[in-house]
Amino acid sequence: MVKKIVVTLPPHVKKFFQVEYDGYQRKSGMDEIHVDKHSELGKLIHLISRPIPYTQKTVIAKGSGALTIRYYSHVQSMEVPVDKLPDLALFMEEIFRRTMVAEVRGGHELVGCDYGPLVTSSLKRRGIERDVDVDYQTCRKVYRDHISKINRRTSKLFEKSYA
């Protein structure tokens, strides 16, 4: 049975998922993607679904950040609880961040250049307009924080090995 949930996302995360999941379409004025059950997001939806024997109040998200996610569930009573939708939105943002860091990291470690143009190309590839959908400096900070975390971890390893 095909089910639907509506998640409110930041504009850059919404555009990211519209590009990443190729089943994107616009129906009845709402942006909609189809998520396969074997994808990362599909597995996450399956994990947070639980049997709900009663009818829960449907959340009607309006605005530019609303994204409808269609997914398949073979058990009719398995539903995504409404109280888990904000957590799902946060995790979807983490998927965006992790994907961007992995993509920028590959180019940065290979070439060793400034990572700013790599962040820009990563955003441009997904149709995310910098400083319109997301602040460019925020995206740079995501990667900069990743670098500092790796450097702290590496320095701790070297301190332990030489002590």
User: Which residues of the chain carry a pLDDT beneath 50?
Assistant: none
Which pLDDT does position 163 carry in this prediction?
Answer: 56
Which pLDDT does position 142 carry in this prediction?
Answer: 94
CB 3 within 8 A of CB 86: no
* pTM higher than 0.85: yes
Question: 136 burial class (0-12, 13-18, 19+ CB within 10 angstroms)?
Answer: middle
Which pLDDT does position 56 carry in this prediction?
Answer: 77
Residue 9: Cβ within 10 Å count: 22
